Structure 1
């Protein structure tokens, strides 16, 4: 049935009733692995030098079932002062995502940009809590632009491929 504009206001349902729209949903999120080391306690609490904090990130995605993917943020943090190591945090925070009708070429951008953006605030809280529970001021990680990093990485990869095709000399 069409309205006065000619637009069908009651579109016919799919013949088989199947929903073919692309969808991705977060099923669960969890701490997969967590380690906090305080190797120089109690002396570290008396050190006066400012610590240098090194934070490293890694993102991984694995197919763990039919249309189910696990995306994990691996966060490695070390805090070192002139006197020695104050603390070390190793966190693997993960989320399970259900995927339906999403083209394969769209999965990588989601898993490397959008999924980490969803998981990061929760991983950030875990880091702050564990550092605080270790006797230090909470460590609040700076927000990360995962989408921007993904675009930079994709551009660098594209530039590298173009560079491989550039002639090296003249013939």
Structure 2
């Protein structure tokens, strides 16, 4: 199991030799669901305009065993060329992570921020290859700061709980 330093101060082993320091590891990664649609082929290949790309992300996590969590990075992509759909991609890319001795207050941040960051490059490759295999130029998604998004969403939720207005008028 590959271990990743969580940045927490290293803990000394307990007197009985038990390792009490936080540790996380990637157990496996896999395509959970993949769909590619090219509904307007072959006419779409005659389009000269570059398609407009809409990308949506969703992250889910759940415990699947003792100290084992599944994180699913769901990516939905719609490419529109003028009035026609060029292609649709729906990918659920998942990973199993072992988390041991991770403080409860850091668990959600890891599962919804750091774990998707680890999975993203692999999901990005699957999407690129799938789009290319569908007859289009490979689609290279820009890197995403999942931890930054997580922190921003937590801050927004905290403001909403305090009754502060969120957004601009």
Q: Quickly name the TM-score band, shorter chain normalised.
A: 0.7 to 0.9
Q: Is the 8 A contact 1:47 1:83 kept in 2?
A: no
User: Deviation per CA, 1:135-168, whole angstroms, max 9, x where unpaired?
Assistant: 000000011011111111011011111117xxxx
Matches within 5 A, 1:44-59: 44-59=44-59
Equivalent-residue separation in structure 2 for 1:17 and 1:59 (angstroms): 37
The Cα of 1:117 is off from its aligned counterpart by 0.7
Q: Following the alignment from structure 2 to structure 1, what is the Cα–Cα distance between the partners of residues 161 and 141?
A: 34
Q: CA RMSD in A?
A: 1.4
Where does residue 9 of structure 2 map in the other structure? none
Q: Which residue of 1 aligns with 2:153?
A: 153
Q: Are 2:9 and 1:16 equivalent residues in the alignment?
A: no
Total equivalences in the alignment: 153
**CA shift at 1:13, angstroms?**
6.2
Mapped to 1, the partners of 2:114 and 2:100 lie a distance apart of 16
1:79, CA displacement in angstroms? Answer: 0.5
Q: Secondary structure at the match of 1:14?
A: coil
Please report the TM-score for the alignment, with normalisation by the length of structure 2: 0.86
Relative to the length of structure 1, the TM-score reads: 0.85
Local SS of the residue matching 1:163: coil
Any stretches of 5+ residues in structure 1 without a counterpart?
A: 1-11, 165-171
Structure 2 partner of 1:34: 34
Contact 2:21 2:101 in 1 (8 A): yes
**Corresponding residue for residue 93 of structure 1:** 93
> Which structure's CA Rg is the greater one?
1
Using the TM superposition, give the Cα deviation of residue 83 of structure 1 relative to its aligned residue in structure 2, in angstroms: 3.6
